[in-house]
Amino acid sequence: MEVMSAKSHSGSKSGDPKPATAAASKPERHGSAKPPTWRQDDGAPVSCLEKIKVLNENYAELQQMAQDAFEDALLIGCSEAQVRSVLHELVDGLTNPYPGTKTSGLVKPHKR
């Protein structure tokens, strides 16, 4: 029997795009969270379409990366509650490199 890693989606040797076993495939995802309305410090929505596009792309990338890490941890046998807590701590630990500065579009976003 072929064993697949959590991130491997290669099919069987015959070229079939489906995983070798049903147990090895990830459950189907039912949609993803809709990005928020991005707001400035004063509560006004960000109106520049290019800025919104960058924010939404970053959001989607982070969401997918967090989902993949979450699934990997669960497959490895970690506690769901602990993994959720660790991901929350990760976000809570982010630092603002621009403290006390009203950025309101003056700083270009970092593209990684």
Closest CA to 66 of 29, 112, 40: 29
Predicted TM-score (pTM) of the model is 0.61
Integer Cα distance of 4 and 11 in angstroms: 9
Q: Is residue 15 situated within a structural domain? A: no
What H or E segment, with its residue span, contains residue 55?
helix 49-76
Q: Is residue 99 situated within a structural domain? A: no
Model confidence at 94: pLDDT above 60: yes
* Angle value at C-alpha 75, between 74 and 79, nearest 5 degrees: 30
Count of domains for the chain: 1
Domain around 49: 35-91
Q: Is residue 54 situated within a structural domain? A: yes
Model confidence at 8: pLDDT above 60: no
pLDDT 10s digits, 49-91: 999 999 999 999 999 999 999 999 999 999 999 999 999 999 9
